[in-house]
Structure 1
Amino acid sequence: MKLKRFLLRYYPPGIILEYNHKSDGNDDQKTRTKSIDLIDLTPNTDVDQVVMEIIQKEPLISPSRSDQIRNLVERLQDKLAQSVNQEYHLFKVLRAHILPLTNFAFNKSGNRFITGSYDRTCKVWDTDSGEELHTLEGHRNVVYSVAFNLPYGDKIATGSFDKTCKLWSLETGKCYYTYKGHTAEIVCVKFDPLSRVIASGSMDTTVKLWDVQDGYEITTFSGHSAEVIDVQFNSTGEKLISGSFDNTVSLWDIKGDRREHYFIGHRGEVSSVCFNFDGSLVASGSMDKSCKLWDPRVGKCVNTLLGHEDEILDVCFDSTGQYLATASADSTARVYNVKTMQMITKLEGHEGEISKLQFNPQGTRILTASSDKTCRLWDPFSGKCEKVLEGHTDEIFSCAFNYEGNIIITGSKDNTCRIWK
């Protein structure tokens, strides 16, 4: 093995090693990567101690690289120390489609975003100018789910009520493939981290995997008894979770082409599922007013978080996986310390259900979207509302930060999306 270069990952903090690897009996060298995760790094961490630990633990890095590693760690610290107390102001209002929006997504840099709509199209937008760059046409029903292939951002997946999934070029707007096989509406689509596979979840109770390069169906995961409402890959792309209205969550082994675990315990429909950063925990929110945490290695529930007075509509981890937030129809959100499983704060102030929430990349703010026509920015540790984003004239169904956390998009049933900077 020979080290080629270092790459930085800001959120969560880490150093990516790119190296050449020669297989046994084969002269061909393949480029591979491995990550050094620095989850606990802060602006005040002792840099020399971190460098010493990295060199001791990582055989690819020799002591002669210590100055280079020190420089990388200091760059990560500088990034963490940057002010994140940004005052967001309305930048643009886009009346994006002739019919209501369904979902939207940023690319990694945040200079492009995409919107899906009941008008059967997906549109590509320039964030800075608000200019429409492409209209992706071809679906015969609602475009319900949209996704970029992060971190690359050169491809777009769309899932539609016409039972198909499509793959598009960001640059040209051309449709590469139309994936057919589902027998009911597609409600969620996600790329794996390497941009090789698309997962689609459908009201036909199945999850399908599609090949990005050559456009064929890889496999169908069957086992749920009601519609699949959410899917997510872990950070390596080797595992996939699916949440269903049958009250369960399934963990699928991609390479083994099988269901590895079946998480049973919720007493209501599952609304949202997610992995933490290192894939050691799965969180699921449910209409039964609870959030459950599961150990995917053994398939067991390790904690049930109670307290919400109505359905939980969304759950998310921060970028490091150290904190978890839940959003509820009871108009509140809650923030938990994952290590202690204790609630840190209860976010109160909305006058309608909270349908979506997200940590900023730095983990210092939480953004919530509500049916009360507002989004709010919160300090997750004090519970203080820092900012109310007002102006929409109908329910806000979704909200998102870009990768840097300096741009927000909100989408509403008033048929507009708003850009905040």
Structure 2
Amino acid sequence: MLSILWCKLYCVLVSHCCNLSEPLNNLSATVEKTPKQTQYSPLPLRCFWVPPIRLIRLFYCCAGIFLDYEKGGQLRTKSIDLLNLTPETDVNELLSDIRAAEPLITSSCVEQVKVLICRLQEKVSQKDDRKFYLFRALQAHILPLTNVAFNKSGSSFITGSYDRTCKIWDTASGEELHTLEGHRNVVYAIAFNNPYGDKVATGSFDKTCKLWSAETGKCFYTFRGHTAEIVCLAFNPQSTLVATGSMDTMAKLWDVESGKEMSTLAGHFAEIISLSFNTTGDRLVTGSFDHTAILWDVSTGRSVFHVLTGHRGEISCVQFNWDCSLIVTASLDKTCKVWDADSGQCLATLLGHNDEVLDVCFNYTGQLIATASADGTSRVFSAETFQCLCQLEGHKGEISKVCFNPQGSRVLTASVDKAARVWCVNTGVCLQVLEGHSDEIFSCAFNYEGDTIITGSKDNTCRIWH
């Protein structure tokens, strides 16, 4: 089982925050495409004064705004969901509702917010009928790749390898920008600190995690403390922490600024194979070969409630949905389970696969769940009714990776049959087969715009598809 999982884990799915690139009067944001639905549900502030906003982040794929502000010397985040935004939405009325409910939106930034929402609205009716064509085939490493991941803007991506290195690539040209050297064993887990994209974390079988500058390739810190291989890692959305999961049964939290270990999360009785922060960064879920998942309070390093139990096989993947209300777990027991993130109650068991489920993910709005199985199929489920909406059939071998495009209209799968496939979410029809690799594909990703795909293979290459 372990060899199967090590061939497929951990490709950082396109995370829930956008790249901050466009200044607007001392605010910055990136405006991107929207899904088909939107509702406004701001979270109340528990204070009597309005702290200044440092950043406004607008998300197209899950249609919402994140407000980064300081309180008590700490960077905090609030979210405003816009999941029902349509071309017919009255932006002025929507903005008025937002201002009435959200004291952080003051007169000093209201015009910037309006501009961003208007540009977001323009994307709603855009159709997605894109075909992907091979742009570059890169002889990326001298040994097989382990994982691939985009930065938020999609301007660069990273590859990890059994050759003990991680490489940073320019997406537009296919040029190698930096080789991150220093690990003494396989570089397995890799991630950008999205939405910022200026740092990279690498986790290795040498039991260490390294933090790098994405701009210069310089190593800032080497995090030491695990006693076995690191197989999963993630930045929190605020880019202040890195979480690492290891075969030593522990997860650890590391401070990005100081390089110090903040917490050791002890509670599992077998290897931790997957972990995920929620979008506000105050919770972390870990999945283990002990058949359980645990939800942790990031600030204290303690479990929030009892262990999530019910699977009869090893956990292969865990993930939060967009609004942090649900957790999904995939297992080698051929099922997935959906859990209430507040109570820990199991809400549903997703059935249908006749072999191990190797990967699972929510779409960006959290309304759909996609699974990947060793039975060679993928399935799409409703996160509301938990019914199977479509079964994606066509691969000739196990599927090790699945992900949605940011718009939620397509599913991408990677398989041991040496091909990746693009599927229509609504119909389950295979729209395109991406062929050319000479060995199994175990990692794949969409960029945040959804117009570029990267695939990583055991043939030592990665391919860029536009």
TM, length-normalised to structure 1: 0.94
User: 1:247-266 counterparts in 2 under 5 A?
Assistant: 247-261=291-305, 262-266=307-311
**AA partner of residue 303 (structure 1):** A
CA spacing shift, 1:81–1:247, aligned 2, 3 Å: same
2:359 matched residue in structure 1:
314
For 1:338, the aligned partner's letter is: A
How has the CA–CA distance of structure 1 residues 325 and 31 changed in structure 2, closer, same or farther, with 3 Å as cutoff? Answer: closer
Separation of aligned partners in 1, 2:370 and 2:62: 17
Which residue number in structure 1 is paired with residue 231 of structure 2?
187
Unaligned runs of 5+ in 2: 1-49
Match of 1:83 in 2: 127
1:286-333, Cα deviation, whole Å (9 max, x unpaired): 000110001121111111111111110100001111111111111111
| Alignment-derived partner of residue 401 in structure 1 | 446
Is 1:284 matched with 2:329?
yes
Of structures 1 and 2, the one with the larger relative CO (CA 8 A, separation 6+) is: 2
Q: Within the alignment, does 1:218 sit opposite 2:281 as a pair? A: no
**Structure 2 residue matching 1:80: 3-state secondary structure:** coil
Query: Which string of whole-angstrom CA distances, capped at 9 and with x for unpartnered residues, describes residues 114-160 of structure 1?
Result: 11111111111111111111111111111111111011111111100
The answer to whether the Cα contact below 8 Å between 2:250 and 2:272 also exists between their aligned partners in 1 is yes
Counterparts of 1:242-391 in structure 2 under 5 Å? 242-261=286-305, 262-391=307-436
Determine which structure has the larger strand proportion and give its number.
Answer: 1
With over 3 angstroms needed to count, the CA separation of the structure-2 counterparts of 1:340 and 1:204, relative to structure 1, is same
Report the Cα distance in structure 2 between the residues aligned to 1:77 and 1:311, rounded to whole angstroms. Answer: 41
Q: Residue 140 of structure 2 is aligned with which of 85, 96, 103?
A: 96
For this pair of structures, how many residues does the alignment match? 415
1:328-386 Cα shifts (integer Å, max 9, x gaps):
11111111111111111111111111110110001111101111111111111111111
Which residue identity does 2:212 align to in structure 1?
A: W
The answer on whether the counterparts of 1:122 and 1:136 sit within 8 Å (CA) in structure 2 is: yes
Q: Secondary structure at the match of 1:366?
A: strand
CA displacement 1:161-216 (0-9 Å, x = unmatched): 01111111111111111111111111011111111111110001100111111111
Q: Is residue 80–residue 362 contact of structure 1 (8 Å, CA) maintained in 2? A: no
SS of the equivalent of 2:455 reads strand
Deviates more, 1:63-72 or 1:305-314: 63-72
Moved more, 63-72 or 42-51: 63-72
Contact 2:168–2:176 at 8 Å: present in 1 too? yes
The within-5 A match list for 1:6-155 is 6-17=56-67, 33-61=77-105, 70-155=114-199
- Which region of structure 1 is more displaced relative to structure 2, 49-58 or 145-154? 49-58
Cross-structure match for 2:204:
160
Letter in 2 for 1:233: F
* Partners of 1:247 and 1:118 in 2: CA distance: 28
Number of the residue aligned with 1:204 = 248
Which amino acid is the alignment partner of residue 353 of structure 1? E
In 2, Cα distance between equivalents of 1:69 and 1:211: 32
Q: How far has the Cα of 1:63 moved from its partner?
A: 8.6
Q: Which amino acid aligns with 2:288?
A: S
**Cα distance in 1 for residues equivalent to 2:216 and 2:114:** 41
Distance verdict in 2 for CA 1:202–1:31, change over 3 Å: closer
Using the alignment, how far apart are the partners of 1:359 and 1:310 within structure 2?
22
1:56: Cα distance to partner?
Answer: 3.5
On the 8 A contact 2:255/2:261 being kept in 1, the answer is: yes
* Partners of 1:227 and 1:245 within 8 A in 2: yes
Q: Matched residues, percent identical?
A: 61
Please state whether the residue corresponding to 1:181 is helix, strand or coil: coil
Alpha carbons 1:224, 1:244 under 8 Å: kept:
yes
Q: Is the 8 A contact 2:78 2:280 kept in 1?
A: no
Q: Residues of 1 paired with 2:101 and 2:279: CA distance?
A: 22
| Residue 76 (structure 1) shift | 1.2
Residue by residue, what CA displacement relative to the aligned partner does 1:62-91 show, whole Å, maximum 9, x if unpaired?
699877655433211212323322111000
> Could you tell me how far apart the structure 1 residues matched to 2:187 and 2:298 are?
26
CA distance in 2, matches of 1:6, 1:89: 35
User: Can you give the 5+ residue segments of structure 1 that lack an aligned partner in the other structure?
Assistant: 24-28
Q: CA deviation at 1:42?
A: 3.0
CA distance in 1, matches of 2:106, 2:298: 35
State the partner residue of 2:43. none
Cα distance, 1:15 vs. partner?
2.7
Q: CA RMSD in A?
A: 2.0
When normalised by structure 2's length, the TM-score is 0.85
Gap change, CA 1:255 and 1:17, over 3 Å in 2: closer
